[in-house]
Amino acid sequence: MKTIFLGTTFVLGAATHAAVGAQDAAKLGKELTPVGAERAGNKDGTIPAWTGGDVKAPSGWKVGAARPDPYAGDKRLFSIDASNVDKYKDKLAAGQVEMIKTVPGYRMDVYPTHRSCGYPEFYYERTKKNATSAKLAANGYDIAEAIGAGVPFPIPRNGAEAVWNHKLHWKGEGFTSHYAGYIPPKGSDSIGEPIAQDEFEMSPMWSPANKGIADAHGVEYQLLNVFTGPPSIAGDATLAQYNFSKPNDVWLYFASQRRVRRAPTYQYDAPVLNTENLEIVDQYLQFNGPLDRYDWKLVGKKELYVPYNTYRLNSPTNKVADVVKPKYFNRDLTRYELHRMWVVEANLKGGMRHMFPKRTFYIDEDTWTILVEDMFDAQGKVWRTAEMGPYMAWEVPACVWAANSSYDHVSGRVVLDRVLAGGKEPDWLAAREGRLKAGTFEPDGLRRATTR
C-alpha cells in the first residue's frame, strides 16, 4: 500500500494532539485543496486534478426536483466481476474482492473519475483555521478544540483525526429525509417489506456561526428516526444525541407501549433497531459514537474503486424493484470511480470488547466521508463490508449521500438502506430555512414526532 505523508511529519507522543504549523496549513488551497486533498491528479491520469468541484446546478434544475445525472453521457470503462477481479484487486478493499468472488452476479461498473465535490468559501476558510487550532484531547481520541462548519483536521497526523473528519463532515446545517430500508430474506428472491423511515439530522457543529466545541455544549450530532412502516413497527422511534467526550444519549419509543425509554447500552456493537442483527449502532452512518475502544492507525492513502457520483442510484424517480435486488443494489444503476482514499485501521484495545476486533475504513480525500468499510472477525476474516457513495447537493453546496449497503459475508445477507426510490429528494436546506429546529431533538420532540 502506498503511503503519502504530504510533507507533514508524523510523530508520536503528546505532540500528536497538537495542531499543524502555519507552514503546513499554507498548503491548503495550493498544492492541497481547501479541505486537504491532493489537488493534482495521479500519475496515470486516471484521477484528474481537482478544479473546484461541480458545484453549480445543471441548467433548469430547481430545489426539490429529482436531480439529473450530470455524467449520464459517460461511457463505462470496464466491469470488475469474478472473471477478472484478481487483475484489479490492488485497487479494491478485501470485502469488495470477497463479494465479487462469492456473490453470484455481483459486479462493479467503473466509469471516468469526476472530482465533483465542492463546498462554500466560508467552509474553506474555517477549515484553514482548524488546521492550526484544532486539537485532540490528551487521551488521543476525543476532540478538544475545533470550530464547526469546517474540516477539523484537513492535514491529519493519526487515524483518530481522520475519523473525526468523517464524524463531523458537513452536509449543510441540518436536513430531513424520508426513505426505506430493505433486508431481503435469506434464500428468497423477495426483497422483503420496505422499512419506511422519516429521519431528521442536525448538529451545532454544522452551523457557520459555531465558535467551537464549547459552543456546541458537548453535542456532536443529533438524530431522530421515526419508523412509518410496516404497520408492525410504525411509530417506533429512536432519538440519539452523539456527544464529544461521553457515550451517546439515546431514547427509544415503542409505539405498542406508548412510552419513551432511555437506552444507555444502545451503542458500540448493540444491534440497530429493526435490522435483524445485521447492523450495529457504531456502524450506522458509516461510523459513529465514541472512539475509545480502538487504537486508530493512519496507514496512508490508497487508490480505490468506490461508489461515487451516485445520482442514478439515488433518484427518487426510480421504482423500488429497479433499485433493490435480493443481494445488492441493481448493478446497472451503481457507478464506481477511482479515487484516493485515506486508509485507517482500527484495532481493538486490550481489555476492551467489540464484535469486530479489527476494522478498516477508506475515507475519501475530497469529502472526508467513509465510502467503504471492512469489518473483521477474530480470525482476521472479513465479516461485513459497507459501502456508500456521495453526490452533489448543489443547493447547499456540499457532497451528501443516501443509499448505502452493508453485506454480511457470514450469513450471506444484506441491509440496503436509505433507498429514495418512489419517494422524494431529501430536504438538505431544512435547518437553514427554518423547517427543522433544535427542539425536534428533545424527548418531548420524540413524542410529538411519533405517528401513533
Q: Residue 247: its pLDDT value, please?
A: 85
Q: 5 in a domain, yes or no?
A: no
Percent of the chain with pLDDT over 70: 95
Residue 7 lies in a domain: no
Whether the predicted model's global pTM rises above the 0.85 cut:
yes
Please tell me the least confidently modeled range out of 55-59, 185-189, 302-306, 377-381: 185-189
188 in a structural domain: yes
Give the H or E element holding residue 100. Answer: helix 94-102
Residue at 328 is within a domain:
yes
CA–CA gap between residue 162 and residue 155 (Å, rounded): 9
pLDDT reported for residue 7: 36
Domain with residue 103: its CATH number is 2.50.20.10
- pLDDT tens digits, one per residue of 114-151: 999 999 999 999 999 999 999 999 999 999 999 999 99
Q: What number is the average pLDDT over the span 8-37?
A: 77
Give Cα separations from 164 to 144, 353, 368 (angstroms): 11, 22, 9
DSSP secondary structure letters along 159-193: HHHHHHHHHT--SSSEEEEEEEEE-PPTT-S----
Query: Residue 358: what pLDDT?
Result: 98
Residue 9 lies in a domain: no
Q: What domain range is 336 assigned to?
A: 14-63+81-449
Split at pLDDT 50, 70, 90, the class of 220 is very high
Res 18: pLDDT? 64
pLDDT exceeds cutoff 70 at 68: yes
3 in any annotated domain: no
| Integer Cα distance of 206 and 200 in angstroms | 14
Number of domains in the chain: 1
Asked, for residue 1, whether it belongs to a domain, the answer is: no
Residue 4 lies inside a defined structural domain of this protein: no
In this model, does residue 232 exceed pLDDT 90? yes
CA distance 348 to 292: 9
